[in-house]
């Protein structure tokens, strides 16, 4: 009696199923997804600030028709600055939120995984320490600024629509509002500001915070701040100079390489942009080099650092 074979037909097996290869970018992509899953403050904080500000702006709409009548007696430049002020304040508030989110995220990014011992699990995965550090650095340098821009753009759009609806409801024209604001130019200025200053120019600060996060066993915020203050203090005592403090202040303030705004507000569409000067400035490339050194050191420290 012939027994029917359970082997797969040769014609089917000969087709072969190629092994699934792991893309070089997949670990980086999923590492970023992991950061967004584990750190909800990245998007909750800006959304919460935007919601609170919109509530306050909505209450201020009661007096908007009266304020627009008063503005009609001013010259165009004064109208422009008066109308831009609440939009500029909204952007500034959200940018401040972005800075705080980036600061505390970077300081806790690798310290928390050592504190809760989850670093043992993450190190067991086929993801290099350098990929992990790069994914964590991408959050404050890339993800948070871009998300801040999206939230700010949406917030200012709602503000403009609310103002237009109130003015139309009161029988006034919205031409002055739309013309003086230059909304889309203001939005492009905001994006430029976030990319050049909050992402590229401030990158060394995030690199330093990530290095401290990977190294410190406790009180990471003290290890991040005290050495910087100590260097400035020793320089002042030993040489009676303040070059280090001035350099930090210039870096924190955003410098003047990306734009010049004499007497103008940071997001004023009339501000003169200087992208060529920014790209060619030694300060930008020196800062990016320092950032790369900090991130490389953070990856090396993470490789040998044990759970707390």
- Mean of the per-residue pLDDT values of the chain: 84
Is-contact 186 84, C-beta < 8 A? Answer: yes
Judge if pTM exceeds 0.95: no
What are the extents of the domains in the chain?
41-115+128-304
The predicted-structure confidence for 260-289, as pLDDT tens digits, reads as follows: 654 445 566 556 777 888 888 898 999 999
> Position of tokens 């100590």?
230
Is-contact 297 212, C-beta < 8 A? Answer: no
Closest CA to 254 of 142, 96, 85: 96
Burial class of 54 by CB neighbour count within 10 A (0 to 12, 13 to 18, 19+): middle
Residue 64 has pLDDT above 70, yes or no: yes
Closest CA to 155 of 74, 224, 90, 76: 90
Q: Which of 1-15, 59-73, 180-194, 201-215 has the lowest mean pLDDT?
A: 1-15
Residue 89 has a pLDDT of: 92
Q: Mean pLDDT throughout 153-168?
A: 93
Q: Where in 152-301 does DSSP place strands (E)? A: 259-260, 272-273
Question: CA quadruple 29, 33, 38, 43: dihedral positive or negative?
Answer: positive
Is-contact 180 79, C-beta < 8 A? Answer: yes
The predicted-structure confidence for 97-141, as pLDDT tens digits, reads as follows: 999 999 999 999 888 888 888 887 777 888 888 999 999 999 999
Q: State how far the Cα of 85 lies from the Cα of 191, in Å rounded to an integer.
A: 18
| DSSP letter, residue 62 | G
Question: What 3-state class would DSSP assign to 16?
Answer: coil
Q: At what angle do helices 243-253 and 220-239 cross, to 10 degrees?
A: 130
Residue 270 has a pLDDT of: 57
């Amino acid at each position: 009696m012939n027994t029917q074979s359970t082997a797969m037909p040769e014609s089917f097996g000969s087709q072969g199923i190629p092994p699934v290869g792991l893309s070089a970018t997949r670990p980086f992509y999923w590492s970023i997804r992991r950061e967004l899953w584990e750190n909800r403050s990245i998007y909750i904080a800006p959304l919460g600030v935007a919601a609170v500000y919109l509530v306050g702006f909505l209450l201020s709409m009661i007096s908007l028709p009266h304020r627009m009548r008063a503005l009609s007696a001013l010259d165009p430049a004064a109208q422009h600055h008066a109308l831009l002020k609440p939009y500029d304040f909204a952007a500034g508030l959200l940018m401040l939120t972005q800075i705080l989110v980036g600061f505390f995220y970077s300081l806790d990014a690798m310290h928390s995984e050592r504190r809760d011992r989850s670093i043992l699990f993450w190190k067991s995965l086929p993801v290099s320490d350098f990929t992990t550090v790069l994914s964590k650095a991408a959050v404050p340098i890339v993800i948070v600024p871009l998300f801040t821009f999206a939230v700010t753009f949406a917030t200012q759009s709602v503000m403009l629509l609310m103002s237009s609806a109130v003015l139309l409801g009161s029988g006034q024209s919205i031409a002055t509002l739309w013309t003086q604001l230059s909304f889309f130019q203001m939005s492009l200025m905001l994006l430029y500001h976030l990319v050049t200053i909050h992402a590229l120019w401030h990158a060394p600060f995030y690199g330093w915070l990530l290095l401290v996060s990977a190294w410190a066993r406790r009180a990471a915020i003290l290890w991040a701040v005290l050495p910087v203050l100590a260097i400035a203090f020793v320089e002042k005592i030993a040489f009676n100079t303040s070059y280090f403090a001035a350099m930090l202040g210039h870096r924190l303030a955003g410098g003047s390489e990306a734009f010049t705004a004499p007497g103008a507000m940071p997001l004023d569409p009339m501000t003169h942009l200087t992208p060529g000067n920014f790209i060619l400035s030694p300060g930008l490339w020196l800062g990016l080099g320092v950032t790369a050194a900090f991130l490389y050191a953070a990856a090396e420290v993470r490789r040998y650092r044990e759970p707390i």
